[in-house]
A = this chain, B = another copy of it.
Amino acid sequence: MKYTNEYYLQKAEQNTPPLFYSTAQAEKTVRIEEDSNAFFGYAATPAGAPPEVVRTGDSFVLDFERHCVGRLSFRVWDDGRYIDAPVRLKLKFGEVPYEIARDHSTYHGSLCPSWLTEEIINVDMIGTVSLPRRYSFRYLEVTVVATPRPTRLSEFTVVCETSADESKLTPLPAGTDSQLVEIDRVAAATLRDCMQSAYEDGPKRDRRLWSGDLYLQALTDQVLFDNSMLARRCLYLFAACEEENRYLPGCLYQYPTLSFDYEMDISDYAMLFCTALADYYAHTKDAETAKDLFPVVKRQMQISIDSMDENGVITPPKSWNGGFIDWAPKLQHITPVQGVMLYALHRLIPLAEALGETETATLWKQSAARATKAAQTVLFSKEKDAFVNAYDQYQYSVQAQTWMILGGVIGGEDGKRVLTKALQSADSVKPVTPYMNHYLVAAMLELGMKDEALAHIKGYWGEMVKHGADTFWEVFVKGQPDVSPYNDVSMHSFCHAWSCSASYFIRKYFLA
């Protein structure tokens, strides 16, 4: 049964990592108030210890003083020994103060409102109440909907869960830029809280594994917790979802059984899954896993190669929206996806060679040469001095320049020039997500623009830290708190896997 979906699933199951548990108890409350200086318009200010006794209508906001992913419990009691009637509580969870302040009834976003985390619970008996669901939050608003008499609520506790072994996290060397130390701390917390039985993309909402996020998480994990078992599991999980002649699903669900959305095959994500195997092998030298998964990677890349048109431009088949690349509105994907293919091929060729897959290595080299030529000719506009989408209105984007640099199509001073111009141009589409900002920084570093890369890390991830981020957010555009792919900021995940890679750069390039 080797190399069947069942085989891959079995290997994935064998690599389920243990979880580590830690406890956070809420000792303090906060008041969530409008604050024009706060990025999302609301700030939390200390409001003392939790109330000793609560009555119907009372409400308070607990601060767990860290981002938690885990199960909540608390104690309900009173001075008697029983409850005369159930105590009905409303619990509203927030990763950031804004989510607590926001009235959920005004939600108008595109995703299902059931992601807005709240519960109404009825407690029949005094004692410890343990909620079965896993939550992702720092703030907890408790509202006493009804209690028959004054009641005590206490010992609000979260047992936090992660597959990250925090004891493996090495401190940054003395003398490291203090802002970078802060950014690294928040990035590590972000990755930690997304590391569960898979690299989740955001524990608040999607508890699923996206291949694009996996790519950045596994890479960053190499310099933080180094959980190669988890990376291995995730690679096998995707392999277990392969269907003939289709890109791997962009995301998958582990529970109750492994499954995925058939409409979510995303070309760039599928190719970054392949790249993740190359990175995994480069880091671990685990040839057994690499050989196990190489057939999948080979078939996946072949889909892209086969989809190159007569010009040598990738035209992905049946792909979700043609690719993902970034949440930037109206971004066209064809040019950046060409860069992703080249980026993947250049990283996969050494893997093929290391595994003795010379025929494949040769084919990939030829494909890369053809795709590079197409990029340099068909997708490059001399007039604009930029990579554009020659297939549709010549869209100009930072994303396209970035991926062409990462794909090795352009480099050196030429690369610096096209990237810098695109960043400065008023006409170009700009990166929106931390995910795309990762590749932008990677491109700068590829070009040797170390100062610019550092400035961007500080100006982007550093800016979120300044705005009080405990973990990095799914979406962040400086000065534009309303930018939302879902048309409502309250739906955002504020601990999002693809935002964790600042640590990768800091620990790889900017240590003292």
* 1/0 contact string of A71-90 vs chain B (CB within 8 Å): 00000000011101111100
Q: How far is the CA of A85 from the CA of B110 in the complex (A)?
A: 12
| Contact call B255/A125, Cβ cutoff below 8 A | yes
Q: How far is the CA of A344 from the CA of B306 in the complex (A)?
A: 95
* 1/0 contact string of A315-342 vs chain B (CB within 8 Å): 0000000000000000000000000000
Q: In residues 119-169 of chain A, which contact B (Cβ within 8 Å)?
A: 119-120, 122, 124-127, 133, 145-148
Q: A256 an interface residue at 8 Å Cβ cutoff?
A: yes
Chain B neighbourhood of A40, CB < 8 A: none
Q: State which of B81, B114, B124, B205 has its C-beta within 8 Å of the C-beta of A88.
A: B114
| Contact call B146/A259, Cβ cutoff below 8 A | no
Q: State which of B85, B112, B120, B122 has its C-beta within 8 Å of the C-beta of A133.
A: B122
Q: How far is the CA of A16 from the CA of B253 in the complex (A)?
A: 45
Copies in the complex: 2
Chain B neighbourhood of A359, CB < 8 A: none
Chain B neighbourhood of A113, CB < 8 A: 88, 146
Task: List the B residue with the shortest CB-CB distance to A253.
Answer: B82
| Contact call A112/B126, Cβ cutoff below 8 A | no
Q: How far is the CA of A111 from the CA of B205 in the complex (A)?
A: 38
| Contact call A261/B84, Cβ cutoff below 8 A | yes
Q: In residues 83-117 of chain A, which contact B (Cβ within 8 Å)?
A: 84-88, 111-115
Q: A178 an interface residue at 8 Å Cβ cutoff?
A: no
Main secondary structure of the interface of A (DSSP, over half): loop
From known contacts A81-B259, A119-B122, A133-B124, infer whether A145 and B114 are also in contact, taking CB-CB under 8 Å.
Answer: yes
Q: How far is the CA of A207 from the CA of B86 in the complex (A)?
A: 11
Q: State which of B86, B114, B126, B127 has its C-beta within 8 Å of the C-beta of A115.
A: B86
Task: List the B residue with the shortest CB-CB distance to A145.
Answer: B114
Q: A257 an interface residue at 8 Å Cβ cutoff?
A: yes
* 1/0 contact string of A386-418 vs chain B (CB within 8 Å): 000000000000000000000000000000000
Q: How far is the CA of A424 from the CA of B125 in the complex (A)?
A: 46
Interface-centre pick from A82, A114, A147 (highest chain B CB count, 10 A): A114
Q: How far is the CA of A127 from the CA of B259 in the complex (A)?
A: 14
| Contact call A126/B256, Cβ cutoff below 8 A | yes
| Contact call B259/A114, Cβ cutoff below 8 A | no
Q: State which of B56, B122, B256 has its C-beta within 8 Å of the C-beta of A125.
A: B256
Q: In residues 237-285 of chain A, which contact B (Cβ within 8 Å)?
A: 253, 255-257, 259-261
Q: How far is the CA of A415 from the CA of B218 in the complex (A)?
A: 90
* 1/0 contact string of A173-210 vs chain B (CB within 8 Å): 00000000000000000000000000000000101000
Chain B neighbourhood of A260, CB < 8 A: 82
Chain B neighbourhood of A112, CB < 8 A: 56, 84-86, 146-148
Q: How far is the CA of A122 from the CA of B124 in the complex (A)?
A: 19
Task: List the B residue with the shortest CB-CB distance to A124.
Answer: B133
| Contact call B148/A114, Cβ cutoff below 8 A | yes
Task: List the B residue with the shortest CB-CB distance to A252.
Answer: B82
| Contact call B146/A114, Cβ cutoff below 8 A | yes
Q: How far is the CA of A69 from the CA of B146 in the complex (A)?
A: 23
Chain B neighbourhood of A82, CB < 8 A: 253, 255-256, 259-261
Chain B neighbourhood of A127, CB < 8 A: 256
Chain B neighbourhood of A207, CB < 8 A: 124
Task: List the B residue with the shortest CB-CB distance to A123.
Answer: B114
A-B contact pairs, 17 of them (CB 8 A): A82-B253, A82-B255, A82-B259, A84-B112, A84-B261, A85-B111, A85-B115, A85-B205, A86-B114, A87-B114, A111-B148, A114-B122, A114-B148, A119-B122, A124-B133, A125-B256, A126-B256
Supply 12 further A-B pairs (C-beta < 8 A) apart from A113-B146, A114-B146.
A82-B253, A82-B259, A82-B261, A84-B261, A85-B112, A85-B115, A85-B205, A112-B146, A112-B147, A119-B120, A122-B133, A124-B133
Chain A residues within 8 Å of B, Cβ to Cβ = 56, 80-82, 84-88, 111-115, 119-120, 122, 124-127, 133, 145-148, 205, 207, 253, 255-257, 259-261
